[in-house]
Chain A
Amino acid sequence: SSELTQDPAVSVALGQTVRITCQGDSLRSYYASWYQQKPGQAPVLVIYGKNNRPSGIPDRFSGSSSGNTASLTITGAQAEDEADYYCNSRDSSGSHLGVFGAGTKVTVL
């Protein structure tokens, strides 16, 4: 079982805002990172740290965190944002292992 909990699926109307959350004890010690994955493709980092976007990631993607919960927000969702989104952190045991959330499928209507 994953130590990071994500909602399985969310939908958003084109141009509207959607927030995806990730909960886990390790998020009290580490900032979550977020990855977008489209079918048949490798994951792509979209948010890391407090709210950092790698080069090339649109500014409609933003991140935030509070306590044991991290959030990824897409403001003004576009059709091309339809994808699976995964959060990632270290595990909460202190054993230096990695862990991913189970993923959230975002559907743009």
Chain B
Amino acid sequence: EVQLVESGGGLVKPGGSLRLSCAASGFTFSSYSMNWVRQAPGKGLEWVSSISSSSSYIHYADSMKGRFTISRDNGKNSLYLQMNSLRAEDTAVYFCAREMEYFDSSVVGRLYYFDYWGQGTLVTVSS
């Protein structure tokens, strides 16, 4: 059974730092790209960052670029998100999600989706 379990959330002051972790099990972690997605209280889903299976390709949403760093340790089946210079608007539940992306020749189209999600960890940025 695929499981993704986030941890590391909590209360932090503006300008502070926090490191989130996502422990993966039930699949070959090193074969999949992984993502972080967040959701501010009462708001919609917001894509945060992605990392390819071997960490060769990393992408960030513009509002997180330069402040957040995604990483992974395939030996530990773990995904991380280092968050620095935190702002009140970073307050959200942070989810990790497994990514699938491929070209399906049977429908002549490219597929991109998140098939498994963790339960999320709450980050609160407040003084």
Contact = CB atoms under 8 A, between A and B. Distances in A.
Contact of A49 (B45, B60, B109): B109
A100 B43 CA distance: 12
A94 to B, nearest CB: 12
Contacts, number: 83
A89 B50 CA distance: 13
Interface residues of A, number: 30
B71 interface: no
B59 to A, nearest CB: 5
A97 B47 CA distance: 8
A86 B50 CA distance: 19
B33 to A, nearest CB: 10
A66 interface: no
A100 B109 contact: no
B117 interface: yes
Interface of B: 35, 37, 44-47, 50, 57, 59-61, 95, 100, 104, 107, 109-115, 117-120
22 contacts: A30-B110, A30-B111, A31-B112, A33-B112, A33-B113, A35-B114, A43-B45, A44-B117, A45-B113, A48-B100, A50-B107, A84-B44, A86-B45, A88-B114, A96-B57, A97-B47, A97-B61, A98-B37, A98-B50, A98-B61, A99-B47, A100-B46
